[in-house]
Amino acid sequence: MRYGSEVQTMGEPANRGRRSSSGGMMMHGVNLKRRFFVSLVLAVPILLLSSPMGLALPITLSFPGSDWLVAALATVLFVYGGWPFLRGAADEVRNRKPAMMTLVALGITTAYVYSMYAFAMGSVAHDGGMHMDFFWELATLIVIMLLGHWIEMRAVMGAGDALKEMAELLPAQAHVKQADGSFADVPLDEVQVGQTVMVEAGEKVPADGEVTDGSSSVNEALVTGEARAVEAHEGDTVFGGSQNGDGTLYVRVTGTGQSGYLAQVMQLVSQAQQEKSRAEVLSDKVARWLFYAAVSVGLVAFVAWLAVTGSVSDALTRMVTVFVIACPHALGLAIPLVAARSTSLGARNGLLVRRRRALEVAPRVNVVMMDKTGTLTEGDFRVAEVRAVGKRSAPAGDASDAPNVPGAPADDRALALIAGLEQSSSHPLAASIVAAAQQRGVQPAAVRDVQAVAGVGVKGVLENGSHALIANARYLDEQRIPYDRSAFDQLAGRGLTVSYLVIDGEVRGVVAQGDQIKPTAREAVRQLKARGIAPVMLTGDNEAAARAVAHTLGIDEFRAGLLPQDKVQLVQQRRDAGDVVMMVGDGINDAPALARADVGVAIGAGTDVAIDSADVVLVKSDPEDIVRLLDLGTNTTRKIKQNLWWGAGYNIVAIPLAAGVLAPVGILLSPAVGAVLMSLSTVIVAVNAMTLKNK
C-alpha cells in the first residue's frame, strides 16, 4: 500500500498544490512541520517581551528598544506563520463558506493590525491603558493553530492518488496489428478503436475489446473484483487492465482513452471525490457561526460604545477586544487532539483512519453496503468438493485409473489425478486444487506430456497410457460427453466453479471450487442488524452465488451482476432517500462507490485503488472491524462535541462580556481575565481529548 503525504489542514484529503472547493487550506506535511517550528522560534521572544492582553506577568522581559524587536518579529511571524491561514480564508470567502480559516485570519489580522497601530502611535501601555498591544495573542494563536494542524496531519494519513493507481493497471504498450499482418509494439495512447491487438499469455489486456480469435481464461479480479476466472473465446468482451491466462488472444479494440472501462471508473471516482471534498466537518460549522457572531457583536459593540461614550478609541478597543477574544485557541486543539487520539486507538485495533470526517459521520450510518468477494468472502478459490465418478461399466466411484494411490478412497484417487494434471499450471484454480491435495495428504499422480488447452483446461497422459483432461461443462456439451447435469446444477447453484476429470472420453471425477466466507462475516452481519443497521451485499458475481452467500450470512437484501456504475447508483439512491451509507469493498470496481458513500471503507488486503478511494482501511480485513469502526466513530464524535462545547462555550460567554453587554451593571470583561479564560479552555479541551477510549 502507498499513502500520500498531503492533507488538508482540517484533516481532509487533497491533491498536491490545489485548494479544495470548500475553501479549506492544504499543507504539505514537511512544510507544515517546518513552518510550525520556525513560527515557534519567532514566537518565544514575543511571548517573553510582551504580555497577554495587558496582563502583567512576572517573567515578562523588556529593555530599551524591545518594543521594536517585538514589532519586527510579529511582522515576520504574521506573514510567514499566518500566510496559510490568510490563504485558506481567502478560499473560504471566495466560496462563500467562512469557517475555521476565516475565523483564525480574523483574529490574527485584527491582533496584528491593531498592535501595529498602537505601536506606531507610541501609546502602548501594559497597565490596562487605552492602546494595549495583542502581539502575545498573535503569537500564541498562530503557533497553537499550526501545532493543531500538524498533530492532525500526523494522525490522519494523507490521501493516496487512486486515479494514478488505476492508470498504472494498463500496460505502457500494445501489440498492434499492422497492414502487412505483422504486429508492432505501439504506445498505449496511440492505440485506436477498430485496431486489432495481440495479447500474449500472461500479459495484461491493453484496452477494452472483442475477441476475434483465440481462447484463454482471463483474470478480471483487479478490474471487476471477482475472483472467478472468465473464459474468453471469439465474440467475448474483455476489459483493459485484466490479466490474460495461458492462451493468446486477438482483440479488436472497442474502447480507449475516455471510452474505456477503466477510464469510466476513474471518472466516477473523480466525481465522487470532488463531491465529498465539499462536505463540511463539524468544526468548520462551529467556526462559521463563531465568525458571524464575532463580526456582528464586534460591529455592534463599536457602534454602541461610540454612541454612548463618543470616544472612537473606546469603541475601537471594545471591537478589537471582541475580535481577538474570539480567536479559537481552544478550537485549534479541540479537534486535532481528538483526531490524534482516535486514530491512534484505531490503528491499535486495525483501523486506519485516513479522513477524519468519516468518524463524525459513522454514528449516523444506517445502511452498510458490502462487496461480496474479498470483503465477506476470502476472495480466493478453494476446493469445496471432490467426487469420483465411476465408469459406465463399473460401479460408481471406481476411479481405478490412479495407479499411484492404490487402496485410497475413490474421491482421493480422483483428487490425485486432478492434482497431477494441475500441479504444473499457474492458474488460480489449479493452485487451489494442488493446495487441497496437500491439505488432505494426497500425493499427486504422475502425469506426463501435460499441456494447457486454451479456454478448456489442461490435458496429459497417465502412467497407464490413458489420456486425461480437465475440462468445463461447456466443453463436455460441445463434445457431447455425458455427465450428471443435476449434480452440476446443484453445485453451480451454490456459486461454485465446476470442472471435470475426463479419462479416455469418459467423466471420471468432478471438482467444485468456490470462494469461502470469512469466519467473522456472519457475526458482523448479526451485530449490524442488532444495531438497526441494514446490511446490503453488492457483487458483480452471478445471482446464484450471491443468493447462496447472502442466505448463509443472514443478509436479506443483495444485488448481483453489478458493474461499478451500478454500485455507485445504488449508493446514491440510498443517500437520496435520506440514508447515511457506509460502503465496504476491496476492488477497483468498488472504488467509485467507496468515494461516493458517506463513509468509504476499504479492506486492507484489497487493491491500492480501493484503499486510496476510501476514508478508512480495515488493516486486518476482518468484517467485524466494521462494527469496531462504528464504535470508534461514536466515541470520537462524542469527544469532538464535548470539546467543541468547551471551546465554543468560552466564546459564547466571553464575546458578549468583552463587548460590554453587562457594562451598565458594572461588569466588563477585562482583556486580562479574557486571557486567563482563553488559556483555561485550551487546557480543558486538551485533557478531555486524552480521556477518549474505545472499548
- Cβ(591)–Cβ(269) below 8 Å: yes
Q: What is the grid cell recorded at 434? A: 494442488
Q: What is the pLDDT of residue 329?
A: 63
| CA distances, 680 to each of 221, 329, 343, 595, 676 (Å) | 56, 10, 26, 40, 6
Among 67, 91, 246, 371, the one annotated catalytic: 371
Q: What is the pLDDT of residue 604?
A: 76
Q: What is the pLDDT of residue 346?
A: 82
Average pLDDT over residues 418-427: 83
- Cβ(414)–Cβ(501) below 8 Å: yes
State pLDDT tens for residues 232-248: 888 888 888 788 877 88
Query: Which residues are bridge partners to 470 per DSSP?
Result: 458, 501
Task: Go through 194-219 and write b for each residue having 16 or more CB atoms within 10 A of its CB, e for each that does not.
Answer: ebbbbbeeebbbbbbbbbeebbbbbb
Work out whether strand 599-603 and strand 616-618 pair parallel, antiparallel, or are unpaired: parallel
- Cβ(284)–Cβ(644) below 8 Å: no
* CATH (residue range 349-376+517-629): 3.40.50.1000
- In the chain, count H helices and then E strands: 23, 24
Average pLDDT over residues 390-417: 59
Q: Which residues does 20 contact at the CB level (< 8 Å), separation at least 6?
A: 8, 12, 14, 26, 91, 277, 278
Element (H, E) at 56: none
Q: Where in the chain is the domain with CATH 2.70.150.10?
A: 170-255
> Reduced to 3 states, what is the DSSP secondary structure of residue 311?
coil
Q: Which residue has the cell 477498430?
A: 194
* Residue 587 DSSP label: S
- Which backbone phi and psi does 38 adopt, to 5 degrees? -65, -45
Q: Where in the chain is the domain with CATH 3.40.1110.10?
A: 377-389+407-514
* CATH (residue range 170-255): 2.70.150.10
Query: Which residues are bridge partners to 383 per DSSP?
Result: 513
- Which backbone phi and psi does 601 adopt, to 5 degrees? -125, 125
Active site (annotated) includes residue 236 = no
Gap between the Cα atoms of 527 and 694, Å rounded: 17
Q: Is it the case that residue 50 has pLDDT exceeding 90?
A: no
* CATH (residue range 377-389+407-514): 3.40.1110.10
Task: Give the pLDDT band of residue 66 (cuts 50, 70, 90).
Answer: confident
Q: Where in the chain is the domain with CATH 3.40.50.1000?
A: 349-376+517-629
The torsion of the CA quartet 655, 659, 664, 669, rounded to 10 degrees, works out to 60
State pLDDT tens for residues 506-528: 999 999 888 888 999 999 999 99
State pLDDT tens for residues 611-670: 777 888 888 889 999 999 999 999 988 888 888 787 777 777 778 887 888 888 777 766
Top pLDDT among 261 and 389 is at: 389
DSSP assignment of 134-152, as one string?
-HHHHHHHHHHHHHHHHHH
Gap between the Cα atoms of 89 and 68, Å rounded: 29
Q: Is it the case that residue 1 has pLDDT exceeding 80?
A: no
First to last CA, the chain: 28
State pLDDT tens for residues 663-690: 887 777 665 566 566 666 777 777 887 7
Work out whether strand 599-603 and strand 581-585 pair parallel, antiparallel, or are unpaired: parallel
Gap between the Cα atoms of 334 and 327, Å rounded: 13
Q: Is it the case that residue 130 has pLDDT exceeding 50?
A: no
> Reduced to 3 states, what is the DSSP secondary structure of residue 371?
strand
Residue 663's Cβ-count burial label (10 Å; 0-12, 13-18, 19+) is middle
Q: Is it the case that residue 336 has pLDDT exceeding 50?
A: yes
